[in-house]
Amino acid sequence: MIKLLSLSLPVFLSPYIRALMASKRTLLLCLLLLSLCLSVSTISSRGVRLVLTHVDTRADLTGVERVRRAADRSHRRVNGLLAAVAPSTAKTLRSDSGTSATAAVHASTATYLVDLAIGTPPLPLTAVLDTGSDLIWTQCDAPCRRCFPQPTPLYAPARSGTYANVSCGSKLCEALPRSSRCSAQEPRCGYDYSYGDGSSTDGVLATEVFTLGSGTTVHALAFGCGTDNLGGTDNSSGLVGMGRGPLSLVSQLGVTKFSYCFTPFNDTTTASPLFLGSLASLSSMAMSTPFVPNPTGARRSSYYYLSLEGITVDDTLLPIDPTVFQLTASGRGGLIIDSGTTFTALEERAFVVLARAVASRVALPLASGGHLGLSLCFAAPEGRGPEAVHVPRLVFHFDGADMELPRGSIVVEDRRAGVACLGMMSARGMSVLGSMQQQHMHVLYDLERSVLSFEPANCGEL
């Protein structure tokens, strides 16, 4: 009897053992979901501070080279934004697949980079911070069919214990623009993003653990695992989208606000802070202006549009038709605040008026700025440096808020050549508020109230 009982015991208990194992799996799943909720809740309530570095601080460049590179990137960036607003003229790669999505950003026009970590164990990741797009992506060795050079090792999904593919039927997959490369043979969610400068990323949407700042981990964050990538991203390994769409970092974290403070353009040693969640806060003296909704809907809803109503030089409000800056019903025009454009680009009709007003007040001979990539430049007085050039007071008037720019946010200088240039450029079809004109300011994006706030700040001390 005892022998029979010993043989029968596992059979008798097997339903309970299976139930126990199932309950353990359920418990593990619950713990995973709980950890995700806790990490997101921690970011929202306690906040996270990240460090941004200007892309050119990692290269040995002269001041003139920094300005020229910034001008070239700004031109390409604005052209890419214009191409996205007018998709019929946008350059799209792999159009024969029927799945390409023309992205609203140039992958190779990075301005600020952020250091993160991905996977278990965590692998360091340097990515472009971009307020003009949504997708988070990095190059993946899964294996990688085509990858451009990057400063850190390729992320390998097989070496991480927390990598998971996103299925075609998931909400995350549906959030991709024209994402469906799905079939019975390929149930994973594929994506294909092509950028206006000829770069692109092609791969699958997946989830992974990301480490932000000093040890804050976020589980099941959706990202693009790119295995066929063309172009480059200025010494980075991918891109972190901070736009208004569902796949951006801020949307996935569920934070209601974020802020940054850009240190001076020519400061190669001081990093710029980025705050997520409750750490993103300004004083009661900050000025605020509402974001303008895009009437065309989701296709370009990632951008942060502002209502620019006029520009003052010294004490004179310039005679610029306000409609120059307005966003039309078709989604054209308007002004975008952008982290990836260095020099502010004003719609051509506005830039011409501004340039004339500035030139008349500087009262110095015009000089060639071709070597800097800028169009309005002045010769410094003989025997004196370009910092001696008088720069008029410049104020951007937004809906409900005035942004007065300090001298360092208006001009860039070539001290050796004795040239000072207006750090802005002309564009046709839209305007973009660039990062140089945002420096020396703490800028807060309140996503819940749909408001942008800003105030002067010593960014290196935040």
pLDDT of residue 99: 35
Position 341 in a domain: yes
Position 425 in a domain: yes
Q: What is the pLDDT of residues 101-114, one digit of tens each?
A: 333 334 445 689 99
* CATH of residue 225: 2.40.70.10
φ/ψ (deg, to 5) at 65: -65, -35
Strand partners for 455: 442
303 and 269 assigned to the same domain: no
80 and 123 assigned to the same domain: yes
Confidence at 200, pLDDT banded by 50, 70, 90? confident
Higher-pLDDT residue of 390, 165: 165
Position 354 in a domain: yes
Higher-pLDDT residue of 155, 32: 155
Maximum CA pair distance of the chain?
112
115 and 260 assigned to the same domain: yes
288 and 239 assigned to the same domain: no
Last residue within a domain, chosen from 253, 275, 297: 275
Which range has highest mean pLDDT (7-11, 267-271, 450-454)? 450-454
174 and 203 assigned to the same domain: yes
d(CA 156, CA 136): 16
Q: What is the pLDDT of residues 401-446, one digit of tens each?
A: 999 999 999 999 888 888 999 999 999 989 999 999 999 999 999 9
289 and 316 assigned to the same domain: yes
Res. 153: pLDDT tops 70:
yes
DSSP for 219-252, written as a single string: EEEEEEEEEEEES--SS-SEEEE-SSSTTSHHHH
326 and 205 assigned to the same domain: no
297 and 250 assigned to the same domain: no
Position 401 in a domain: yes
261 and 290 assigned to the same domain: no
Q: Are 67 and 386 in contact (CB under 8 A)?
A: no
Confidence at 163, pLDDT banded by 50, 70, 90? very high
Position 41 in a domain: no
| Token pair belonging to 222 | 């959706």
Number of domains in the chain: 2
| Token pair belonging to 138 | 């990095």
Percent of the chain scoring above 90 in pLDDT: 53
| Host domain of residue 83 | 47-275
d(CA 128, CA 147): 16
Q: What is the pLDDT of residues 262-300, one digit of tens each?
A: 998 888 788 899 999 999 999 999 999 999 988 776 545
Catalytic residue positions, numbered: 130, 338
pLDDT of residue 381: 74
331 and 390 assigned to the same domain: yes
Strands 200-212, 112-118: pairing kind = antiparallel
Position 31 in a domain: no
d(CA 42, CA 85): 37
170 and 311 assigned to the same domain: no
Last residue within a domain, chosen from 225, 248, 275: 275
Position 19 in a domain: no
260 and 296 assigned to the same domain: no
Position 84 in a domain: yes
Last residue within a domain, chosen from 228, 248, 275: 275
